[in-house]
Copies of this chain bind each other. A is one copy, B any other.
Amino acid sequence: MARRTKEDALTTRSDLLDAAERLFSEKGVSRTSMNQVAEAAGVTRGAIYHHFENKLALIDALMERVRLPVDDMLEELAKTHNSNPIAMLRARCLHIIHQVQHDDHTQALITILLHKCEYVDEALPIHLRHLEGRNACISETEVLVDLAKEQGLIDPTLDSRAVIMGLFSLIDGLMYNWLLEPKYFDLNQTALQAIDTYLRGLEPRSP
């Protein structure tokens, strides 16, 4: 085939990302060859190596593609729930849960991260990106907890960092287990109850 329009090229690139996202989340990263990705996108391996340096760069591009929407979402939520820090925390958690259930791209990517890729040093850049994202999110959210403490909404003797780690771990664990076997339990119900249970456990003790 010959050269195509710049727009066509972008379409090809996008098709490749879609194919990779689907195949990776279905068959796992290491069990999916570049050839399979190319075929699923209707091109040859030449196209992949033109757009991406190698498999890692491909995965990296996958993650980059969802980073911006996620950032936007966080900002959006920040505006609507700026009154009560606990309510905002809750809103964020529930939004993530909702997103994993109903947005295909999110679900596929989280599946890849949690179940379909190996965290080996070879994949360090991805590893780091994941950690950075998490740590940034944690640090940012920690502010909310401190705020809630000041307002007397949560027990002041609790360690803020640990409060957040617990909450995030709860979310991670719920997603992890649900994606493992989605029909085993209802994510919405379970997450709602579990999150509220946890948040309730944070309340200050009545003297």
Binding site for B on A (CB under 8 A): 27-31, 115-122, 130-131, 134-135, 158-159, 161-163, 165-166, 168-174, 176-177, 180-181, 184-185, 189-190, 193-194, 196-202, 206
A21, B21: Cα distance in complex, Å:
30
Cβ distance A119 to chain B, nearest Cβ, rounded Å? 4
Copies of this chain in its oligomeric complex: 2
5 pairs of A and B residues whose beta carbons are closest in the complex: A166-B194, A169-B173, A201-B201, A173-B173, A28-B118
A171, B194: Cα distance in complex, Å:
13
Give which listed residue, B30, B196, B201, contacts A199 with CB less than 8 A.
Answer: B201
A115, B117: Cα distance in complex, Å:
8
A122, B194: Cα distance in complex, Å:
33
A-B contact pairs, 9 of them (CB 8 A): A27-B121, A28-B119, A28-B120, A159-B189, A162-B189, A166-B198, A170-B198, A196-B201, A197-B201
- Besides A196-B201, A200-B201, 14 other A-B contacts (C-beta < 8 A): A31-B120, A115-B118, A131-B184, A134-B177, A135-B184, A159-B189, A159-B193, A161-B185, A166-B198, A169-B170, A169-B194, A170-B198, A197-B198, A198-B201
Give which listed residue, B173, B184, B198, contacts A171 with CB less than 8 A.
Answer: B173
Which residue on B lies nearest to A154, using beta carbons?
B197
Give which listed residue, B119, B163, B194, contacts A115 with CB less than 8 A.
Answer: B119
Contacts of A130 in B (CB 8 A): 180
Give which listed residue, B28, B29, B163, B177, contacts A165 with CB less than 8 A.
Answer: B177
**Known contacts A31-B30, A170-B169, A174-B166: A181-B122 contact under CB 8 Å:** no
A176, B171: Cα distance in complex, Å:
11
**Known contacts A30-B31, A120-B28, A122-B31: A174-B181 contact under CB 8 Å:** no
Contacts of A200 in B (CB 8 A): 200-201
